A and B are shown apart, each in its own frame.
Chain A
Amino acid sequence: MRKLIFAISALALVTSAAFADPIADRQALMKANGKAMGVLVPMAKGEKPFDAAAALAALQTLNDDAQKLDVAVHFPPGSETGGETTASPKIWQDQAGFQAALDKFKADAAAAVATPPQDAAAVGATVGALGQNCSGCHENFRIKKG
């Protein structure tokens, strides 16, 4: 009997560790998005030379992250506070709105990868369109907490 209880506890512990940290996971995804933008924005502004391969790789990162983002996985109940999260309570108060914003990001990121930019001006247009997803979501669903 004790072995069974021990086995179940160990299993539960391992399982909960596997789902441990939606906050850290979503922050890591967002930081990766930022790094990808860090490749694209200087190209758009002419500060760095246009590089089709690097631009495509950055857009693929953004798209991979967008498709990975999942409200149930990354914004489950219980993850409203903790860590250094800047998630706004509105994510859980307006779940339909948040899902809609996320779906728009998935669609825009997929479109950007489907027709990758071929010059600096096109990178600018792509950055503009994707950037609106960043600020649009952050405007409503992110809150600086000190």
Chain B
Amino acid sequence: MLGGIGAAAFWFLTEPRTLDEAKLAQLGAGDAMRGERIFWAAGCTSCHARPGSEGEARLELAGGLQLKTPFGVFVSPNISSDPEDGIGSWSVEDFANAMMRGVAPDGTHLYPAFPYTSYARMTPSDVADLYAFMKTLPAVAGKAPEHNLSFPFDIRRGLGLWKLFYLDDEPVVALAADAPENVRLGRYLVEGPGHCGECHTPRDFAGGTDKARWLSGAVAAEGEGVVSNITSGEGGIGDWSQSDITTYFETGFTPEFDSVGGSMAEVQRNLARLEAADREAIAAYLKAIPPHPNGYPSRTAPAS
């Protein structure tokens, strides 16, 4: 009897919640040219391009990239315009519900390896623009392999509970009422489509980002290594000027002329495609956010 009530409560709490009518009404017609900016800002190719592909081939969003995490191995799906193996048959409402609520057209929850926890902060019209742009990309046949997750993480329904705690479309960093316009734009780009926090913020035991240590760096989700602290706190980028940051986004060179590496190399290639004003906005935001010490453990001293 209690088990039955518990199960019913679970079922109710984990119900997929899609966008409400008011949000859907804001989608609009969508403009593919504006959508291209969002495409590069959102970094879709970083996960969904065929692994190892280069140049124009990166626009073939075949999926297949493996993300090895403590929960198991996620594999990015085919999100090309193919109606059978990609998302070519999705409506713009389907696309928006996936992007902003992590709900698939069949009503199941999507895993937050797809960063809808960030995309939830996008405007519906940007999402509609992105949809229009992605319709122009090539159709790619062939589904990617399924995820390979350990129990109980392979139970999608449980994500409904996770989302109650971790899916939130409010801004992370509060800005003063008179904050400059480009800092606000930077906040939108970073906390929304840029989804920088998904890699650069430490995660708790449940795999949700720890917003109290926003952008302070983290142990890398995939395998070994760490992701940088991009606040002005100790170990971060406090001694980088705004211009140092935009130069890094544009060229991949740090102020010491070290070169970008790891997963950030692909991100930097995407950032280099944005307008300078967008890069400057991101840099302005990074200089404005609260400082935190590194969100990852310091390297242990080498054995002598």
Contacts and interface: CB of A to CB of B under 8 A. Distances in A.
Nearest to B304: A82
B262 A144 contact: yes
Interface residues of A, number: 27
Nearest to B297: A146
A76 interface: no
Interface in B283-304: 294, 296-299, 302-303
B261 interface: yes
A146 B262 contact: no
| List of 6 A-B pairs having minimum Cβ-Cβ separation, nearest first | A138-B261, A134-B259, A139-B265, A146-B299, A143-B225, A34-B257
Interface string A89-119: 1000000000000000000000000000000
Contacts of A146: 226, 294, 296-299
A139 B261 contact: yes
B262 A139 contact: yes
B259 A144 contact: no
Interface residues of B, number: 27
A83 B226 contact: no
Given A138-B259, A139-B262, A144 B226 contact: yes
Contact of B253 (A131, A139, A145): A131
A127 B252 CA distance: 11
Contacts, number: 73
Interface of A: 30, 34-35, 37-38, 41, 45, 81-84, 86, 88-89, 127, 131, 134-139, 142-146
Contacts of B262: 138-139, 142-144
Contacts of B225: 88, 143-145
B244 to A, nearest CB: 12
B266 interface: yes
A41 B298 contact: no
Which of B251, B257, B296 lies at the interface centre, i.e. has the most chain A CB atoms within 10 A of its CB? B257
Interface string B12-43: 00000000000000000000000000000000
Contacts of A82: 302-303
Nearest to A82: B302
B3 to A, nearest CB: 46
B258 interface: yes
